[in-house]
Amino acid sequence: MPEGDVVLRTARRLTQALADGPLVRAELRWPSVAGADLLGRRVLETVSHGKHLLTRLDDARTLHTHLRMEGTWQVRRTQQPPDPWRRHTVRVVLGTSTWTCVGISLGMVDLVPTAQEGTVIGHLGPDLMADDVDVVTAAANLRAEGERAIGEVLLDQRVAAGIGTVYVAETLWLHRLNPWLPACDVPDPEALMSTAARIMRRSADARTMSATGDPRPGHETNAYGRVNRECRRCGTPIREGRLGRPPTDRVTFWCPACQPGGPDGPTP
């Protein structure tokens, strides 16, 4: 599933592509909103909140979409005659006279009054990709999870929105915290949330995305996806495990030497 950095980049692309004029094509191929008429409307902006996208229109309505696991937004130059986009996975087509944006395999599509965006994102924690990230509230949410494993807590979008398996592994590696450490034992929750926000934002702003926030070759990840490869810090082979219970468990990666505890024994 795309994480907050990718979703923020997508929001920026949609904003730029749809800013040049009114919609000359607007198709919502989703049962609950299929009859909505958006033709002639102007897109004011698309913003992200965690992994959610909010495309705001000039008639005080917002198109809410979510990529889920497989969703993408493609941006293409508008063709004449128009491309029919007959693929059965196409969920949304929004086009101006210059650019056409196509949402494929989207996991959510809603149309709500802009003033009521809270009905679709109000359950989420602070947006880690926001310009003014509310790390205080995110940290308080984390502390409230008590004995729950910190890796699971960070994946919970109600705690803080935008972070997924990649940045959970990277953030915990940077702070030398085991993914199974109880949330209540995290020594500095605000610093942890600040790190997650920082490396995700650096990735979103970089020309080449990188889970470490460093776009240079060889800095793609420190822990994520590096099972059995040497830890960049101490040389110990990185391990792979599962957070949570099936069928909603998620993969994680950690260094048993730098991040002791959990399945590898007690935390010192």
Catalytic residues: 2-3, 51, 250
Cα separation of 185 and 78, whole Å? Answer: 54
The three-state (H, E, C) secondary structure of 207-262, written as one string: CCCCCCCCCCCCCCCCCCCCECCECCCCCCEEEEEEECCCCCCEEEEECCCCCCCH
Cα separation of 10 and 93, whole Å? Answer: 15
Cα separation of 146 and 238, whole Å? Answer: 27
- From the list 218, 224, 231, the residue with the least C-alpha distance to 169 is 224
Amino acid at 63: L
Which parts of 105-147 are beta strand (E)? 108-113
SS3 state of residue 131: coil
Cβ atoms 211, 170 nearer than 8 A: yes
**Phi and psi torsions of 143, nearest 5°:** -60, -35
